[in-house]
Amino acid sequence: YASEILFETAKQFKNLDFIDFGSGFKVPYKAGDIETNIEELGKKLSARFNEFCKEYGKDLTLAFEPGKFLVS
């Protein structure tokens, strides 16, 4: 998962306040297009992010930039 790469990279920085996962949520424009399941992503990523914060030793903020997803 790309999230694991981001978590591993974040460990290199000791004074973080947040991790921004950016965007990339898939929006279907026509039948058969790939769509991001936000609920599933949220459940899996929330659990892993909470684990990461414990490993990191500090509670961080998890940020996203879902602009296109919100307006589509």
How many structural domains compose the chain?
1
Is the pTM higher than 0.95? The answer reads no
Q: To which residue do tokens 């996962």 refer?
A: 21
pLDDT tens series, the chain, 72 aa: 789 999 999 999 999 999 998 887 888 888 999 888 888 988 999 999 999 999 999 999 999 887 776 677
CA atoms within 13 A on the CB side of 9: 9
pLDDT at position 31 is 92
Q: What are phi and psi of 62, to 5 degrees?
A: -100, 120
User: Could you list the residue range(s) of the whole structural domain that residue 10 is in?
Assistant: 1-71
DSSP string, 50-62: HHHHHHHTS--EE
Taken in order 2, 49, 36, 66, the sign of the CA dihedral is: negative
pLDDT at position 43 is 92
